[in-house]
């Protein structure tokens, strides 16, 4: 304990930017590389040299994880017990439970499951539900419903839920129709491993058929072409769903064909109409609602219903919007997005009192629709009162917290993924219900002091009864950002709102597509922008320098804003998805920008635009000290009012 205390004290003394690596730190980084190579012998040799190091639990996890397939239960439990109470203990137990479930070692699984604190792994939950039915702790039908619901939430092909679904199907407790729903979801979302894994549960020989059908769905449905056999109703449904993604009108014609109309069940037809409507809504076709109305909502996937709601608000069809929101799963109905739009629909129909009651329930400065609800009630967005200052004891408790200190040490060493996981576990999962609001504020304050801005922001956002605006919306590099923004005629609050969403102020942030730095600028975009603003001496590596990144990122944002006639929502969409997409998305009726943003077909960009604008309003309130309006920044979106873009080559 004395060694551990010394190590954690060392962490508290240094910010990440000035962290001095010790010999133990170098060994740890070498172990990280050995873990990536799956070099269990090297891990085993190095582990003893890290006894007492603040990140010993992480090193022990790497070592045990690399050996888990061959290690005895006693060996694994020795590691679990040696690091009891840490994130890495529970991470190892999570991995072990998955292995035990896959191997069918149920006695060990039953022993370890109650000790699993996170309880957030759907595959473990699937195994657990299946096991509870096996042991008589819950009815088979209920277990099958649980497994099916969890399986349908998995975005990729997995082992646990698929194995539980297969066992339940073979035992007669999960219907073929339920398995086909998983196949359909995989085809519609273009996740073929999901579809082929699911269809193999029913008939492994059909796996190549799925690939053939989706390679050319129109040909599969065309009698004039030598058709692939068999033409079962399930495969026909898949062909129509896949065709819908390419051409919703052609898919609708196929579904109206008498052969398929009589062959498909009501449930299959409704799902297909949902897929056709969703694709038409993505493409902003005015007939999207008509397609949705051909099916029955109770047989559609929740994703179909979300797009029916979006198509309804795009068409300002308030009765259909209300009916569709009422059909959404209860969790989605409670989301501020649909609370706001339900209230808006009621208000448009003259039902002012219930609309105001719904808006009142979500109104705050927290997010996009919460801010719109405030304005719908006639209020402006202001900075909430700062919570009572943290006292010495609260700060000291956060500084002593071993999970937070391990997380900071990992982040300081460049092990950001590992550090973020440990931090999130400590604040949210280590104890049931997570930290209290005061504990969260203290943890966020610790991260702010260490300039770990992403953990500062995300931790402060977890508070329920208070909002600490300065923690949630910090302004690092204030002189540079504000001076540069004002120099080129940008609202500094807009720039801060975008940086917060892009990088959370992580200087060396890298995206999976190659964007870099605070403002996440792509290399090609950086070169183009540098030329545009006369930076003749620009070198690619400079984009990782803070001042250069800010200069180029703000310049590009200003060029995009000018190109989109000052529309903040469209410029934000262009910054995230490139300018050509919002140029197409703006065509059609003139819409309130909030309705336009909600109809953006890319989930990432849709979320991005809303968060950048909500961030902007909060930053503006902090910078100016004055009440702000989100609606004034939104405006409307419609077809271009000038003939040609200002910057036709804007990348």
Question: Is 375 contained in some domain?
Answer: no
CA distance 525 to 55: 39
Same domain, 302 and 218: yes
pLDDT band at 578; cut points 50, 70, 90: very high
| pLDDT on residue 651 | 85
Q: How many residues does the chain have?
A: 651
CB within 8 A of 512, min separation 6: which ones? none
CA distance 225 to 227: 6
pLDDT tens string 165-216: 999 999 999 999 999 999 999 999 999 999 999 999 999 999 999 988 999 9
266 touches 299 (CB < 8 A): yes
| Residue % of the chain over a pLDDT of 70 | 95
User: What does the mean pLDDT of the chain come to?
Assistant: 93
Q: Is the CA virtual torsion 513, 517, 523, 524 positive or negative?
A: positive
Q: Is the pLDDT of residue 14 over 60?
A: no
Q: Is 409 helix (H, G, I), strand (E, B) or coil?
A: helix
Question: Is 449 contained in some domain?
Answer: no
Same domain, 309 and 179: yes
Question: Is 416 contained in some domain?
Answer: no
Buried b (16+ CB within 10 A) or exposed e, 582-621: bbebbebeebbbbbbbbbbbeeebbebbbbbbbbbbbbbb
Q: Is the pLDDT of residue 515 over 90?
A: no
For the record, the structure tokens of 118 come out as 């996170």
Among residues 107, 123, 139, which one ends one of the domains?
A: 123
Q: Is the pLDDT of residue 524 over 90?
A: yes
CA distance 331 to 327: 11
Q: Is the pLDDT of residue 629 over 60?
A: yes
46 touches 30 (CB < 8 A): yes
| pLDDT on residue 260 | 85
Same domain, 232 and 117: no
> Span 509-521, mean pLDDT?
85
Number of domains in the chain: 3
Same domain, 502 and 609: yes
Question: Is 70 contained in some domain?
Answer: yes
CB within 8 A of 343, min separation 6: which ones? 354, 355, 356, 358, 359, 373, 376
pLDDT tens string 465-506: 999 999 999 999 999 999 999 999 999 999 999 999 999 999
Q: Is the pLDDT of residue 512 over 50?
A: yes
pLDDT band at 13; cut points 50, 70, 90: very low
Answer with the residue of higher pLDDT: 411 or 227.
411
Q: Is the pLDDT of residue 645 over 70?
A: no
Q: Is the CA virtual torsion 198, 199, 202, 203 positive or negative?
A: negative
Among residues 313, 339, 371, which one ends one of the domains?
A: 313
For residue 293, indicate whether it is catalytic: no
Q: Is the pLDDT of residue 154 over 70?
A: yes
Q: Is 14 helix (H, G, I), strand (E, B) or coil?
A: coil
Q: Is the pLDDT of residue 644 over 70?
A: no
Burial of 99 (0-12, 13-18, 19+ CB in 10 A): middle
Q: At what angle do helices 568-577 and 492-502 cross, to 10 degrees?
A: 30
Region label for 590, one of left (φ > 0), alpha (ψ between -120 and 50) or beta (otherwise): beta
Q: What residues pair up with 516 in beta bridges, in sequence order?
A: 510, 521
Same domain, 188 and 106: no
Question: In 87-159, which ranges are continuous DSSP H helix?
Answer: 87-103, 106-112, 122-134, 140-153
CB within 8 A of 625, min separation 6: which ones? 383
467 touches 366 (CB < 8 A): yes
Question: Is 396 contained in some domain?
Answer: no
Parallel/antiparallel/unpaired status of strands 636-637 and 591-592: antiparallel
Question: Is 162 contained in some domain?
Answer: no
> What CA–CA distances, in Å, run from 585 to 63, 66, 110, 577, 601?
50, 48, 52, 11, 9
CB within 8 A of 546, min separation 6: which ones? 477, 480, 507, 517, 518
Q: How many CB atoms lie within 10 A of CB 643?
A: 5
State the CATH number of the domain containing residue 610: 1.10.530.10
For the record, the structure tokens of 92 come out as 């190892």
The torsion of the CA quartet 527, 531, 533, 536, rounded to 10 degrees, works out to 100
130 touches 167 (CB < 8 A): yes
| pLDDT on residue 8 | 31
| pLDDT on residue 6 | 29
For the record, the structure tokens of 380 come out as 């402006």
Same domain, 186 and 105: no
Same domain, 242 and 99: no
CA distance 363 to 643: 40
Q: How many CB atoms lie within 10 A of CB 312?
A: 24
Q: Is the pLDDT of residue 9 over 50?
A: no
Poorest-confidence range of 128-132, 222-226, 310-314? 222-226
CA distance 630 to 621: 11
Question: Is 148 contained in some domain?
Answer: no
pLDDT tens string 285-334: 999 999 999 999 999 999 999 999 999 999 999 999 999 999 999 999 99
Question: Is 254 contained in some domain?
Answer: yes
Same domain, 73 and 198: no
Catalytic residue, candidates 502, 565, 598, 632: 502
Same domain, 484 and 615: yes
| pLDDT on residue 183 | 98
Domain span holding position 62: 2-123
> What CA–CA distances, in Å, run from 116 to 72, 98, 112, 166, 434?
19, 12, 7, 25, 15
Question: In 366-491, which ranges are continuous DSSP H helix?
Answer: 368-376, 392-400, 402-412, 416-428, 437-449, 453-460, 469-472, 478-487
DSSP string covering 342-377: HHHHHHHTT-HHHHHHHHHHH-SSSSHHHHHHHHHT
> What CA–CA distances, in Å, run from 266 to 262, 521, 532?
10, 49, 57
Q: Is 510 helix (H, G, I), strand (E, B) or coil?
A: strand
For the record, the structure tokens of 275 come out as 């897929």
Same domain, 107 and 221: no
Record the pTM.
0.93
Among residues 250, 279, 313, which one ends one of the domains?
A: 313
Q: Is the peptide bond before 329 cis (omega within 30 degrees of 0)?
A: no
For the record, the structure tokens of 429 come out as 């999962």
């Amino acid at each position: 304990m004395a060694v551990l205390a010394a190590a954690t004290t060392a962490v508290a003394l240094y910010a990440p930017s000035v962290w001095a690596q010790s010999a133990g730190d170098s060994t740890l980084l070498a172990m990280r590389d050995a873990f990536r190579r799956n070099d269990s012998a090297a891990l085993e040799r190095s582990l003893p040299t890290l006894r007492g190091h603040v990140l010993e639990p992480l090193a022990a996890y790497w070592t045990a994880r690399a050996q888990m397939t061959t290690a005895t239960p006693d060996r694994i439990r020795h590691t679990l017990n040696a690091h009891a109470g840490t994130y890495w203990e529970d991470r190892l137990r999570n991995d072990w439970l998955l292995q035990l479930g896959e191997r069918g070692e149920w006695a060990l699984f039953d022993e370890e499951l109650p000790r699993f604190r996170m309880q957030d792994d759907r595959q473990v939950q699937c195994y657990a539900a299946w096991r509870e039915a096996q042991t008589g702790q819950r009815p088979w039908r209920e277990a099958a419903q649980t497994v099916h619901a969890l399986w349908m939430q998995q975005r990729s092909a997995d082992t646990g839920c698929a194995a539980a679904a297969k066992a339940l199907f073979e035992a007669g407790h999960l219907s073929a129709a339920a398995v086909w729903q998983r196949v359909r979801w995989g085809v519609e979302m273009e996740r073929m491993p999901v579809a082929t894994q699911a269809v193999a549960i029913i008939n492994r020989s059909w796996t190549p058929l799925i690939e053939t059908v989706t390679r050319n769905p129109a040909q599969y449905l065309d009698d004039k072409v030598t058709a692939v056999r068999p033409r079962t109703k399930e495969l026909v449904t898949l062909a129509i769903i896949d065709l819908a993604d390419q051409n919703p009108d052609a898919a609708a014609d196929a579904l109206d064909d008498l052969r398929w109309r009589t062959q498909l069940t009501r449930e299959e037809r409704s799902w297909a109409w949902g897929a056709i409507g969703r694709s038409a809504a993505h493409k902003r076709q005015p007939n999207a609602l008509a397609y949705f109305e051909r099916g029955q909502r109770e047989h559609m996937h929740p994703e179909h219903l979300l797009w029916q709601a979006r198509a309804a608000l795009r068409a300002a069809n308030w009765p259909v919007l209300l009916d569709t929101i009422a059909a959404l799963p209860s969790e989605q109905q409670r989301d501020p997005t649909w609370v706001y739009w339900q209230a808006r629909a009621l208000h448009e129909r003259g039902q002012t009192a219930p609309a105001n009651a719904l808006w009142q329930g979500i109104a705050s400065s927290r997010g996009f629709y919460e801010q719109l609800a405030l304005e719908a009630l006639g209020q402006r967005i202001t900075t909430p009162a700062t919570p009572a200052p943290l006292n010495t004891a609260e700060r000291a408790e956060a500084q002593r917290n071993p999970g937070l200190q391990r997380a900071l040490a990992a982040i300081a060493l460049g092990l950001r993924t590992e550090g973020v996981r440990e931090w999130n576990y400590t604040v949210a999962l280590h104890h049931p219900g997570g930290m209290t609001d005061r504990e969260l504020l203290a943890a966020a304050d610790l991260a702010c002091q260490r300039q770990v801005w992403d953990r500062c922001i995300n931790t402060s956002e977890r508070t329920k009864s208070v909002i600490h605006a300065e923690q949630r919306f910090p302004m690092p590099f204030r002189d540079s950002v504000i001076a540069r923004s004002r120099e080129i005629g940008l609202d500094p609050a807009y720039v801060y709102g975008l940086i917060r969403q892009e990088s959370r102020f992580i200087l060396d942030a890298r995206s999976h597509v190659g964007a870099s730095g605070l403002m996440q600028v792509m290399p090609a975009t950086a070169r183009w922008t540098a030329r545009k603003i006369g930076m003749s001496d620009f070198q690619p590596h400079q984009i990782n320098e803070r001042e250069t990144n800010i200069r180029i990122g703000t310049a590009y944002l200003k060029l995009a804003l000018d190109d989109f006639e000052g529309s903040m929502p469209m410029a934000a969409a262009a910054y995230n998805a490139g300018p050509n997409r919002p140029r197409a998305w703006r065509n059609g009726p003139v819409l309130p920008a909030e309705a336009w943003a909600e109809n953006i077909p890319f989930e990432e960009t849709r979320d991005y635009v809303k968060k950048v604008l909500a961030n902007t309003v909060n930053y503006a309130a902090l910078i100016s000290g004055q009440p702000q309006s989100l609606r004034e920044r939104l405006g409307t979106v419609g077809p271009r009012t000038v003939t040609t873009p200002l910057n036709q080559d804007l990348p």
